[in-house]
Amino acid sequence: MTRIENVTVADGEFALHVWTPESGTGPGILLVQEIFGVGDYMEAVAGDLTRLGYVVAAPDMFWRIQPNWAVKHDERALPEGVAKVSAFDWEKGPADLEAALLHVRGLPEVEGRVGVLGFCFGGTLAFLLAARAEVDAMVSFYGAGVPGALGAIDGISAPAQFHFGGSDPYISREDVAAVERAVKGRDRTEIHVQEDGGHAFHNRKAPMFYQPEPAERAWRLTEEFLARYLPVS
């Protein structure tokens, strides 16, 4: 079951796509889009998560630039997505995400804990949200902005899981190593690097990126992490 709700902030409102599991209720997951918008890939991931028993909600993070924008995951659309990220307001955007988190906590279907899971652009935002707000778990997939924002990691008290590709052309292995060093020894914090993985290796809607084997390994680790820290009763 899906629907769209509106999240109101001081200077406007934006769409929040909500998917519910067959049980009707469950822990919440705030799902943060990559650069192609809230489209078929986010719907696919939401389907994976609702089948596990989660209530999933994905906010339209590009609403200030072009509301409800979503495109196919191909090479032609890639420059459009990059342009949207370049125009993104990194002051207001994380605050929008925090407002979305509060909205998710108030959904009638959400019982218990709420976590955040983001991919690419959304992987960076998930990290920044966990550093500024109370979440119950955070999963970040190949957030390109994470290595440059590691000063915020001490603000994260929730269990955290990071995923990167060791062969990512957009995030150097040296930058991934910096995250590995920052994570080392931190309680309930883990990092997994698929050395054969490129960028966006989990995106099964993008033939130019998708790599089934690294994707399967990383998603299995994600499911195990969520089961530990965001259990479905």
Please identify every residue annotated as catalytic: 120, 168, 199
CA–CA distances in Å: residue 212 to residues 40, 113, 170, 217? 17, 30, 19, 9
* C-alpha atoms less than 13 angstroms from C-alpha of 99 in its C-beta half-sphere: 20
Residues 6+ apart with CB under 8 A from 177: none
Which of helix, strand or coil describes residue 148? helix
Give me the half-sphere count of Cα atoms (radius 13 Å) on the Cβ side of residue 70.
17
Q: What are the tokens at 189? A: 């914090």
Q: How far is it, in rounded angstroms, from Cα 148 to Cα 104?
A: 28
